[in-house]
Structure 1
Amino acid sequence: MAVTTELRPSSGLGTWRTPLVIIICGCAIALLSFGPRSSLGFFVQPMSREFAWGRDVFGLALALQNLLWGLGQPIAGAIADRFGILRVMIVGALLYAAGLLLMRYSTAPLSLDLGAGVLIGFGLSGCSFNLVLSAFSKLLPVEKRGIALGAGTAAGSFGQFLFAPFGVAMIDNFGWQAALTVFALLMLLIVPLSLAIATPPSTSSNEPVGDQQSFKTALAEAFGHRSYVLLVLGFFTCGFQLAFITVHLPAYLADRGVSSQTGGWVVAAIGLFNIIGSLSVGWLQNKYPKRYILSLIYFTRALAIVAFISFPITTFSAIMFGAISGLTWLSTVPPTSALVALMFGTKWFATLYGFAFVSHQVGGFLGVWLGGIVFEQFGSYTPIWWLSILFGVLSALINLPIVEQPVARPVAQPA
């Protein structure tokens, strides 16, 4: 993996980008980009009441968001790998802000789908923590990557911790329209922060001879590699569970008499404890096999759901579920991204991790969409909870056969 060439700052950025500056600014971007989208579940009830929408309407919009975030990720990753991350980040932040503003002025399902679904979905593909992790992998030395990947993921969780109670307070005191407007303005902060994590364009002149791999060759190599395919399949479950819980948990708790304020703190607890989980996994993955860590995460999450839905819902049990879920929430991301970098290097990292993220977001689309449909049909989320448990167990098993070593590549022989 060519690290030394990637660490050189581009000519227009100077030498101010130390590893600490890169990590701090990247974490700030992850915090800002992940915060609002993790709080959108709190807008389901006030917007549905105002416009007489069923939960399937809001569910479809956020399902589209998850799907387009996933589908746009490998495209954004390929552009970032080829031309640098900066321009992708700026466009993504502007789309994100525009989507939040359009959502604020939505009065019909179609405009909600366009704002909350299309614009925010594509915006996230350009400015979310996925590209931050790619920048960390390209700009930081190997010995700093593990903890940096954990920190970047944890920062997204801290955004969830901050924005969940903040969003609830804004909705309760100023209305959901004001809350979305403030969220949109905050997204514009990503533009100046992205200067710190700008990566140079990929050209043949700054790559070692052995690393001059084409886009098509990289894709063929990855999807012909059994361990990568298993990793991608397992990541589907992560998206299904996280998206379903993010969007439908606040309404699920409200249906059982839990106040919106408590629901806000449950989501905040997920974000807070995910900081612990992500940082811990970022450190543990340097000591233990990543496939075992992933398997344990998926199995623990399945057990937590079983316990949560099997006993009466109280404030204590809800917050405990949030805490346990938080420990396993985005902690799948550091080992997943590290395995991609380990298997294939960093040249096409954003692209290959982007395709893994497609699987994650297809799962997210189904989790949100099916959650809304099942509730409207049966008046209950129970079938989706049990489907989440089944997927968790299957992913725990799928990750066990992964081989943790660089892909074998033919070595050019001298003439």
Structure 2
Amino acid sequence: MSTAKPAYAVPLKNPTLYVIVAAALIISAAMGIRQTFGLFIGPFSYDRGLPVTLVAFAIALHNLVWGFAQPFAGAAADRYGAAPVVAFGATTFAAGLALAAGSPSAVALIAGLGLLVGIGVSCTTFGVVLTAVGRAATPEQRSMAMGIASAGGSLGQVLMVPFAQLLRETSGISTSLYALAFLMLVAAPFGMLLDRRKDVGATHVAASPAAATVAPLRETLAHAMRHRGYRLLTLGFFTCGFQLAFIATHLPGYLSLCHMPMGLGATALALIGLFNMAGSWACGWLGGRFRQQHVLGWLYLIRGATIAAFFLLPKSTVSVVLFAAVMGLTWLGTVPLTSGLIAKVFGTRHLGTLFGVVFLSHQLGSFLGAWLGGYVFDATGSYTLIWAATALAGLFAALLHFPIDDSVHAPVEAARA
């Protein structure tokens, strides 16, 4: 009889805990800051005279740039370690915020919030930071460790949104963006902790009898592209980006149109972050007990049904709070499940790159979700069409995830995963 402990019962050792804490702090800063961007759409439009479509485009562009940059950031972290990539990303992220804060022009807004922030986020979030956690943890711990790091990273969303809202109301757009840039720089040194177990991991892999059979990156990518489950996972992650970017960018404006109390949009975004802490941890725990693609399928079904119910039912403060709570429980739990599934099937040697390719699909969806929200509203004066598309996308993603094959396809990692 096997004496192996189930994933949820394996204690995390101190070196892994250091990596998890550092990862959570970096993700908190990066994801928390970008979660505030929806609060600036109205002020950029009213105070600086920029069209809503243009502001939405700048926010959408950073999602697109993030997606295209993510495979390269992941590959750089695979080769050189996470620390230098995080340092570069945090500096670039802060520069983008400062550029948007210091100039009222449309060009500065697009270059700052769109281009520089997109590059910065790709180096300071999941494809670099969370994959470092995946390497630090054992296969038994991996899903839980990623879930805990994602949950801790949600603290930034809880704190940053009300912080940015307060600064914006009391000190204006520029001061709030400069403050957020400073916080991003403060998070950069924690990247040095992400590579604490680099030598340990290398020793462990070298000791494996299959270590000599590690496939080079080009062969690994080609193999992944031929894998039906990897293609389905990539298509499904597009839906996740589309849903989250639309809600994060346009929920505050939509609630204003519904004559909800001022500040409720910021409260809803903060609540999403708060409940995402529990949701990410729960998804990591569930991913250690059940097949990760099945957990993902049910998560997308719940999310789609919640979006449909929120849009169709009468709006009230209670309904907004309930919507934010359920959305938070299903918000970023997709990330540890998706990256954990990739690690299970293909191993961790090229995890940053493989996850980066899947994440590119996520960010293409994010671009469309943020930009189409503004375009549809400007064209029709309503968000009805985009809300319907966002709800139906949940069913589409669920149907893609349930049939994914999760058998191991990486020769080196087969013994570990």
Distance 1:205 1:303, change over 3 A: closer
For residue 263 of structure 2, give the secondary structure of its aligned residue in structure 1. Answer: helix
Quote the Cα distance in structure 2 between the aligned partners of 1:203 and 1:324: 40
Gaps of 5+ in 2: 1-12
Q: How much does 1:204 deviate?
A: 12
Deviations 1:182-224 (A, max 9, x none): 1000001222111100264999997553443211101101101
Question: Does the CA contact (< 8 Å) of 2:38 and 2:252 recur in 1?
Answer: yes
User: Which residue number corresponds to residue 9 of structure 1?
Assistant: none
User: Which residue number corresponds to residue 12 of structure 1?
Assistant: none
Q: How does 1:178-193 map to 2 (within 5 A)?
A: 178-193=175-190
Q: How much does 1:56 deviate?
A: 0.6
User: Which residue number corresponds to residue 264 of structure 1?
Assistant: 266
Question: Does the CA contact (< 8 Å) of 1:70 and 1:362 recur in 2?
Answer: yes
Question: Does the CA contact (< 8 Å) of 1:33 and 1:129 recur in 2?
Answer: no
Quote the Cα distance in structure 2 between the aligned partners of 1:204 and 1:106: 50
1:274 partner amino acid? N
Distance 1:146 1:204, change over 3 A: closer
User: Which residue number corresponds to residue 400 of structure 1?
Assistant: 402
Q: How does 1:382-393 map to 2 (within 5 A)?
A: 382-393=384-395
After alignment, is 137-146 or 327-336 more displaced?
137-146
RMSD over equivalenced CA pairs, Å: 2.0
For residue 47 of structure 2, give the secondary structure of its aligned residue in structure 1. Answer: helix
What fraction of aligned residue pairs are identical, expressed as a percent?
Answer: 40
- TM-score scaled by length of structure 1: 0.91
Quote the Cα distance in structure 1 between the aligned partners of 2:367 and 2:233: 19
1:238 aligns with 2:235: no
User: Which residue number corresponds to residue 142 of structure 2?
Assistant: 145
Q: Could you tell me which of 95, 109, 127 is aligned with 2:124?
A: 127
Question: Does the CA contact (< 8 Å) of 1:34 and 1:129 recur in 2?
Answer: no
Q: How much does 1:107 deviate?
A: 1.2
Q: How much does 1:68 deviate?
A: 0.6
Deviations 1:363-411 (A, max 9, x none): 0001011111111100111111111112111111010110122116599
Q: Could you tell me which of 369, 372, 377 is aligned with 1:367?
A: 369
User: Which residue number corresponds to residue 93 of structure 2?
Assistant: 96
Question: Does the CA contact (< 8 Å) of 2:234 and 2:358 recur in 1?
Answer: yes
1:338 aligns with 2:335: no
Question: Does the CA contact (< 8 Å) of 1:129 and 1:152 recur in 2?
Answer: no
Quote the Cα distance in structure 2 between the aligned partners of 1:190 and 1:171: 22
- TM-score scaled by length of structure 2: 0.91
Q: How does 1:148-167 map to 2 (within 5 A)?
A: 148-167=145-164
Q: How much does 1:246 deviate?
A: 0.6
2:46 partner amino acid? R
Quote the Cα distance in structure 2 between the aligned partners of 1:186 and 1:386: 37
For residue 103 of structure 2, give the secondary structure of its aligned residue in structure 1. Answer: coil
User: Which residue number corresponds to residue 4 of structure 1?
Assistant: none
For residue 257 of structure 1, give the secondary structure of its aligned residue in structure 2. Answer: coil
User: Which residue number corresponds to residue 83 of structure 1?
Assistant: 80
Question: Does the CA contact (< 8 Å) of 1:211 and 1:347 recur in 2?
Answer: no
Q: How much does 1:321 deviate?
A: 0.7
Quote the Cα distance in structure 1 between the aligned partners of 2:41 and 2:262: 12
Question: Does the CA contact (< 8 Å) of 2:144 and 2:288 recur in 1?
Answer: no
1:108 aligns with 2:105: yes
1:296 aligns with 2:298: yes
Gaps of 5+ in 1: 1-15
- Residues matched between the structures, number: 396
